[in-house]
Structure 1
Amino acid sequence: MTRVKNDIFAGVTAAVVALPLALAFGVASGAGAIAGLYGAIILGFFAAAFGGTPTQISGPTGPMTVIVATTIATFPNDFSTVMTVVFLAGIMQISFGIVGIGKWIKYIPYPVISGFMCGIGVIIIILQINHFLGVEGYSSIVYTLTHLLDTINKLNYEAIIIATITLSIMFLTPKKISEIVPSALISLVFMTYFSIFMDFKITTIGAIPMGLPEFIFPISFDILKLSTILTLAITLALLGTIDSLLTSVVADSKTKTKHDSKKELIGQGLGNMVCSFFGAIPGAGATMRTVININSGATTKLSGIVHSITLLIIVLFLAPLASKIPLAVLSGILIKVGFDILDYKFLKVLNKVSKQDLIIMLTVFLLTIFVDLIMAVGVGITISSIIAVYQISKNTQIKIRRSKVAFDIDIENHDVEIIKVTGSLFFGTASALDIRLEKVKNSKKIIIDCLDVSFLDISAIFTLEEIIEKFKSKDLEIILVLKYRHKRKVLTVDTDNVFKNIKIYNDLDDAINYTQKYELNNG
């Protein structure tokens, strides 16, 4: 009974957090605020009921909203075709789940994901500039930037006041308060009433219909547009897949559980497919909402279902109140969302990573903003693969045909286990080390011998960081044996002091001696 109460409380809390974001993403997409709410309700319910991450909260997200906005701009005055894109994306996600494509997502290099997410964040920020300044917004990044001078000439100072205060609340609300009442909700309620009290003449969301959404049949399009439709659907499906599974990994780390990627993609695809029948915008697993859900005590799928039911009650009975919400308030909320999407983990070490990682990240970043999201990821993966193949082939010549990573247990002595890694440790092989370590049992200390590792990239370093943190929570000690240049590289990007707090040796014998001394002292 306690678990049920916790899930209900967590679900209601997640709904409170989701409300302003759903409204904001709905408006930002071009489909309208109600489409964002419907998306949060429908996807949230189906992803919770049929997905593979029990504590995950799903709904409209920043990255998905950007694609929906692009789709609506591509097919203006043709909402049926837009929903066809959403429908096909849902079908594709279900297919991804059935064939198990989720397991391949982990092979996307970290700089690619970083550049992609930073690009999405910047897109959201730029597209909200006009609403922040009280001017009608554009759906194009380039158009928004090239017409910035025209926008400045049309400033609405009342909207700027509202948006600035909103953004200040979003950034400055103390964490202790935002954990109880989300800053987005504080901004939404307070600034809406403030604008009404001051009788500001600014643009609002407008009328939001009460009641349930109408059913529409999405399969309707011009055969000549099929290529564009499929491209957008693939983009939406892949982005939704990446977005959701990354959130699932976050949920795993918070709950110490393991998600089912196949079920998760089926649940996400089913939810997005149903969204298309009701004119709702699609979405994915939402990291912030999921973390708040877990922190509020969620442990089962019930929390996600309660989240959707709570939002449905709000739509049925309180929708008219939302009509007074200024677009300037939503712009302030979305600009904060854009900043939150930026990958600060990578940005903090931008001047310390290798030139290859930096080039990949910046290439994906710029292509995401100014060209196309699918092309950005495709180009990023291609460049990463070329660099990886070059490094492996280069090291193979030196290491005498040693082109694959091998993991061998050298000794097994009660509390200590040594795992030897040979070859190159990079984005394509780092996860194999993680999987191998999952099988290690009955050991208090694990020595990872990387002296024969010829290449170590940023993705592998971050994977090692996650491994250390994970085993630390299990009271297991990781001891690294690295070449001096790899040790220096690891410590250079160690902004969170994960590696500085463990033993790192340049010689395997030194590591073994350390464990033997430990056993003697504690035997």
Structure 2
Amino acid sequence: MSLIHGLHFNNLKGDLLGGVTAAVVALPLALAFGVSSGAGAIAGLYGAIFVGLFAALFGGTPAQVSGPTGPMTVVMASVFTQFVAIDPATGPVLAFTVVIMGGILQMLFGLLKLGKYVTLVPFPVISGFMSGIGLIIILLQLGPLFGFSASSSAKEALFLIPEYLNGADSPALMLGLVSLAIVLFCPRSISVTVPPPLLALVLGTLIYLLVFLDSGLTVIGAIPTGLPQLLMPALSLDLLSEMLFAALMLAVLGSIDSLLTSLVADNMTKNYHDSDRELIGQGVGNMMAGLFGGLPGAGATMRTVVNIKAGGSTPIAGVVHALVLVFVVLGAAPLAENIPHAVLAGILIKVGLDIIDWRFLLRLHHAPLFVAVLMLLVLCLTVLADLVTAVFVGVFIANVVTVKRLSDNQLDSIRIIDSHAGNDESLSKRERKLLAETRGRVVLYQFDGPVSYAAAKGLSGKLQDCRPHDALLLDFSRVPLIDVSTALAIEDMIVEAQGVGRNVHIIGLNPIVQEILQRLKILDLIPASFCHTKRSKALETAHAMVFRDELN
């Protein structure tokens, strides 16, 4: 395994162009995300630099460009506000320590090879979750758009909308709407040369300087220049549980966000990413960002797409993107001091609109009722509760329903065959003859496929409608595996049958199923002569016993 996944030098021109283009797109977004988070514009730039650099060097998606994203900024804004409110002096340090902890957790996810499980989140949950995040971004930017300070939560912003509308600041609203119009309606002939967010940033700031300089609009203000200082992490035992929860939220969200973007990159480049390596790279990037006061980040879809379209295909593009932003921090940061918050709000509202899953929302009325309700539930929980609660509740409900459906399918596939089998094609002609001659006194319980814990409780219920019989044959010939719950349910079936005087025969155990039944001592309930490798032999034995009992 090479140290840098996908690195080669056969595409230097494309990687240089892709990296520079991605940096141009990242600059206005990094500034906007930094301001939106409450940590300051420079934190957005530092996040773009460190996450972008280290995720490229240690990640598993060569063409991916990483940095602060809308979902990660939403969480960081909540974390920053929470800890600063508790202690203004140490709050920022605790917030960035949470970023470091989140990065370590992401690295742990990768080392434990959990990458393949992250993208198994059901589609309605992802759709509702992402749409909820898009809505949060829009709600949080309504304040700056109308000339107010940003709200601390989406719920608060929702209730303040009437106040925003009644007390709107005209210059702020105009600048915000102009910026929003540029990013929404910029002609393709221009956008292929100049990224719309950058164009909105430049034109919006020029209008402010030429027309509204004395209007009292809130601007970014002084931005530190030079390289960042190392920030020593700190822990608070009193707040440890809150810090761990916030770190887990960042780690889970960053992992989902990054791996979904990796799938987009795979589709465009026709390559395959390494999920576990990508999580390690993102974790290293977020850990370094936290150590230097930067926002957490993830794989950024817009920057990744721009990079690939411009020719980038290796980690060199991600490194170039980070180095270009370093030069901005070293010398050009003062140029951003006069950018109005309203301009950034217009740009971020477009980001929020892009995150919302319009493709699915517009077809929601055609979706199955459960899917539609689950998606809307996750969306509402994302906006009104918190992101982790939304995902966990959504995944839990989706999995419960899925397990129920699978158990129903498994139970439907189980067949109970007696003397009325007729022309059942699963049995040979001789087997059908043997069953018919028993006149219902032998019942064949035929499993088909794996039987999970979800179907275990229904196993005995399948026998309730059977007429009285003397022998029960449990056919496992088509069962590749069972779990402990299923094994215990089978034990109950055996004990119940034997309790009313029925003989129980076991057929066709493979080594895996046999080992589970032996470990739990369930096979001890069955005489060795009643354990058969072939169904025909079991039917012959049961048939002989039925007629022997009649003769006696």
Q: Same fold by TM (over 0.5)?
A: yes
RMSD of aligned residue pairs (Cα, Å) = 1.6
1:151 to 153, 159, 164: 164
Q: Which runs of 5+ in 1 are unaligned?
A: 403-421, 425-523
1:65 aligns with 2:65: no
The answer for the alignment partner of 1:384 in structure 2 is: 398
TM-score (norm 2): 0.71
Q: In structure 1, how many angstroms separate the alpha carbons of the residues matched to 2:148 and 2:26? A: 26
Q: Which runs of 4+ in 1 moved over 4 A?
A: none
1:395 aligns with 2:403: no
Q: In the TM superposition, what is the alpha-carbon distance from 1:109 to its structure 2 partner?
A: 0.4
2:100 to 77, 81, 87: 87
How many residues align? The count is 404
Task: Decide whether the 8 Å contact of 1:20 with 1:188 is kept in 2.
Answer: yes
1:343 aligns with 2:357: yes
Task: Decide whether the 8 Å contact of 1:42 with 1:275 is kept in 2.
Answer: yes
Q: In the TM superposition, what is the alpha-carbon distance from 1:145 to its structure 2 partner?
A: 2.1
Q: In structure 2, how many angstroms separate the alpha carbons of the residues matched to 1:150 and 1:303? A: 45
- Cα deviation 1:387-438 (Å, max 9, x = unaligned): 1112122222333379xxxxxxxxxxxxxxxxxxx999xxxxxxxxxxxxxx
The answer for the alignment partner of 1:205 in structure 2 is: 220
- Cα deviation 1:192-243 (Å, max 9, x = unaligned): 011101134211100111111111101x132111111111100000000000
1:293 aligns with 2:301: no
Q: Which runs of 5+ in 2 are unaligned?
A: 1-8, 417-447, 451-552
2:119 to 102, 106, 112: 106
Task: Decide whether the 8 Å contact of 2:249 with 2:387 is kept in 1.
Answer: yes
- Cα deviation 1:228-260 (Å, max 9, x = unaligned): 111110000000000000000100000000001
Q: In structure 2, how many angstroms separate the alpha carbons of the residues matched to 1:259 and 1:137? A: 38
Counterpart secondary structure, 2:293:
coil
Task: Decide whether the 8 Å contact of 1:356 with 1:387 is kept in 2.
Answer: no
1:160 aligns with 2:168: no
- Cα deviation 1:25-76 (Å, max 9, x = unaligned): 0011110101000100111000001111111000000000000000011111
Deviates more, 1:372-381 or 1:136-145: 136-145
Counterpart secondary structure, 2:225:
coil
The answer for the alignment partner of 1:39 in structure 2 is: 47
Structure-2 change in CA distance of 1:312 and 1:401 (3 Å)? farther
5 Å matches for 1:313-332?
Answer: 313-332=327-346
5 Å matches for 1:63-462?
Answer: 63-76=71-84, 77=88, 78-200=91-213, 201=215, 202-218=217-233, 220-400=234-414
Counterpart secondary structure, 2:119:
helix
Task: Decide whether the 8 Å contact of 2:119 with 2:260 is kept in 1.
Answer: no
Structure-2 change in CA distance of 1:93 and 1:2 (3 Å)? closer
1:35 counterpart letter in structure 2: A
Q: In structure 2, how many angstroms separate the alpha carbons of the residues matched to 1:134 and 1:106? A: 39
- Cα deviation 1:64-99 (Å, max 9, x = unaligned): 000000001111121011011101100000000101
The answer for the alignment partner of 1:12 in structure 2 is: 20
1:13 counterpart letter in structure 2: T
Q: Percent identity?
A: 50
1:137 counterpart letter in structure 2: A
2:229 counterpart letter in structure 1: E
Counterpart secondary structure, 1:351:
helix
Q: In structure 1, how many angstroms separate the alpha carbons of the residues matched to 2:25 and 2:55? A: 18
The answer for the alignment partner of 1:428 in structure 2 is: none
Q: In structure 2, how many angstroms separate the alpha carbons of the residues matched to 1:320 and 1:222? A: 35
Task: Decide whether the 8 Å contact of 1:39 with 1:59 is kept in 2.
Answer: yes
The answer for the alignment partner of 2:472 in structure 1 is: none
Larger CA Rg, structure 1 vs 2: 2
Task: Decide whether the 8 Å contact of 1:160 with 1:328 is kept in 2.
Answer: yes
1:100 counterpart letter in structure 2: K
Q: In the TM superposition, what is the alpha-carbon distance from 1:153 to its structure 2 partner?
A: 4.2
Q: In structure 2, how many angstroms separate the alpha carbons of the residues matched to 1:349 and 1:146? A: 28
Q: In structure 2, how many angstroms separate the alpha carbons of the residues matched to 1:50 and 1:186? A: 32
Task: Decide whether the 8 Å contact of 1:66 with 1:120 is kept in 2.
Answer: yes
